[in-house]
């Protein structure tokens, strides 16, 4: 037996038992299912909203993954070498900050004296400089140097 929540065309709501869903459909088509309030045969199953409380929890927010590495002694050496290179570059070149791209171009076109400079350029700017034949190098970022 199946209990159906039913409603007629006038939205009278009632419940009724049927041997099966097929039996319900058969009886409904034949007009045997009638509204107890108005005797209408225009009856259909109620559209039910889920009455069960949702218990499924949203997955906990995952912290954003960071690239990580476990370094061997050899890699520690490389990292130290990178840090030394970086320090040397920073120590022996003029910090032109955000004017880096402009200064690099000026030097390239002989508008200012040739010298070692370092400063800020985003990836696109650096690529543009390289395309113009201006040699720029990214200064290696050593993990410890972040933050």
Q: What backbone phi and psi angles, to 5 degrees, belong to 145? A: -80, -10
Q: Which is nearer to Zn ion, 10 or 76 (CB)?
A: 10
Which range touches Zn ion (CB under 5 A), out of 1-9, 56-64, 92-100, 118-126?
Answer: 1-9
**Cβ of residue 4: shortest distance to Zn ion, in angstroms?**
15
DSSP label of 55: -
CA distances 99 to 10, 65, 120, 131, 132, Å, are 76, 33, 7, 18, 17
43 binds Zn ion (CB under 5 A): no
Cα separation, 80 vs 33, in Å, equals 85
Contact with Zn ion (CB under 5 A): which of 6, 33, 35, 136? 35
Q: Which is nearer to Zn ion, 42 or 125 (CB)?
A: 42
**Cβ of residue 20: shortest distance to Zn ion, in angstroms?**
24
8 binds Zn ion (CB under 5 A): yes
10 binds Zn ion (CB under 5 A): yes
Contact 46, 13 (CB under 8 A): yes
Task: Give every CB contact of residue 107 below 8 A, 6+ residues apart in sequence.
Answer: 113, 114, 115, 117, 134
**Cβ of residue 12: shortest distance to Zn ion, in angstroms?**
3
Contact with Zn ion (CB under 5 A): which of 2, 5, 38, 130? 38
> Where along the sequence are the contacts to Zn ion (CB under 5 A)?
8, 10, 12, 35, 37-38, 40
């Amino acid at each position: 037996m199946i209990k159906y929540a039913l409603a007629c065309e006038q939205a009278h709501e009632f419940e009724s038992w049927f041997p099966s869903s097929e039996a319900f459909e058969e009886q409904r088509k034949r007009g045997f299912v009638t509204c107890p309030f108005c005797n209408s045969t225009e009856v259909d199953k109620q559209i039910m909203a889920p009455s069960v409380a949702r218990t499924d929890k949203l997955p906990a927010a995952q912290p954003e993954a960071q690239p990580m590495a476990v370094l061997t002694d050899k890699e520690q050496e490389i990292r130290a070498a990178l840090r030394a290179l970086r320090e040397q570059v920073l120590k022996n070149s003029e910090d032109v900050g955000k004017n880096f791209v402009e200064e690099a171009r000026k030097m390239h076109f002989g508008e200012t004296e040739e010298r070692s400079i370092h400063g800020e350029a985003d990836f696109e700017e650096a690529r543009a400089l390289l395309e113009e034949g201006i040699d720029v190098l990214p200064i290696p970022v050593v993990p410890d140097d972040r933050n």
